[in-house]
Amino acid sequence: MAVVQSSEIQRRLGLSIKDPASLVITPLLNEKDAFSVDSIDLRLGSHFLLPQVPPQPYATLDSENPKTVPLHVHVPWGKYLVVPAHQTVLGVTLEFIKLPFDLSGQILTKSSIARTFVVIETAPWIHPSYRGCLTLEIANVSNTPLLLHPGVRIGQLILQVISPPPDPKEAVKLKGNYLGPVYPEAPKFKNLKDELGSIGITEVDLPGICANCKLPVT
């Protein structure tokens, strides 16, 4: 897989939207400063999801149990969000991205940000033909609260060529559980029993909950 150079990125940004090879990154503010030879800087958007303590004292990878609704927060331009030490928050890129059918992408924490011990992405891979703003799993792993100002450069997008390229006709259908998001997306899980059942695991244990104290009982 070869990393795509900035001249090729620029070329693809200029293609017609109907061309499956076209790339969109919008808005590109301070465009001249946004490009490195092999990456594009991405900025922090203004919407966040703050994790809430779940109603039951654990989380599962299950659509049914238990459901936690994160708190949606909008931080206007010029204002900031405080991420306490050792806390996490879901953010989103300011830029909306459409990847070409033959490129996949990775978003990496900008090195200057990483050196404050903040990680912005733990699932950095972006599939070809993806459309949407990118949800950022921001973790402040430092010992200091961090102020996040929407609009700051926070990540780098690196594009890679898929070799051999897939059939562009396959890119005609838009797909994906997360098509076109413009806000940070909370995780979407399948039914855990169905998910495990599909690979032959039919008995799935989940802790019972005490009706009075809401603590797990075994």
Q: How far is the CB of 186 from other proteins (least distance, A)?
A: 15
Binding mask of the shown chain, residues 123 to 162, with x at each position contacting other proteins by CB under 8 A:
--------x-x-----------------x-----------
Given candidates 1, 2, 3, 29, which one binds other proteins under the rule CB under 8 A? 29
- CA 201 – CA 197 distance, rounded (Å): 5
Quick check: helix, strand or coil at residue 128?
coil
Measure the CA–CA gap between 217 and 123, rounded to whole angstroms. Answer: 33
Q: CA 109 to CA 52: how far, in whole Å?
A: 25
Q: Which is nearer to other proteins, 76 or 164 (CB)?
A: 76
74 binds other proteins (CB under 8 A): yes
For the beta carbon of residue 147, count every other beta carbon within 10 angstroms. Answer: 10
Q: Of 17-25, 102-110, 152-160, 188-196, which segment contacts other proteins by CB under 8 A?
A: 17-25
Q: Report helix, strand or coil for 31.
A: helix
Return the number of the residue (14 or 197) whose C-beta is nearest other proteins: 14
Tokens representing 111 are 């090195």
Q: Closer CB to other proteins, residue 176 or residue 208?
A: 176
Catalytic, 8? Answer no
Q: Is residue 32 a contact point for other proteins (CB under 8 A)?
A: no
| Phi, psi torsion values for 114, nearest 5 degrees | -60, -30
Selected binder of other proteins within 7, 14, 52, 167 (CB under 8 A): 14
Question: Which one among 4, 9, 75, 136 touches other proteins, defined by CB under 8 A?
Answer: 75
Assigned token pair, 44: 């922090």
**Residue 18, interface with other proteins (CB under 8 A)?**
yes
Among 7, 26, 144, 191, binds other proteins (CB under 8 A): 26
Question: Judged by CB under 8 A, does residue 118 bind other proteins?
Answer: no
Rounded to the nearest 10 degrees, how much is the dihedral formed by the CA atoms of 153, 74, 50, 133? -50
Cβ atoms of 81 and 125 closer than 8 Å: no
Cα(150)–Cα(95) distance, rounded to whole angstroms? 12
Kindly state whether residue 55 participates in binding other proteins, applying the rule CB under 8 A: no
Can you tell me the distance from the alpha carbon of 144 to that of 134, in angstroms, rounded to the nearest whole number? Answer: 26
Q: Which residues are near other proteins by CB under 8 A? A: 13-18, 24, 26-30, 72-77, 79, 94, 96, 98, 131, 133, 151, 172-175, 179-180, 182-183
Return the active site residues: 137
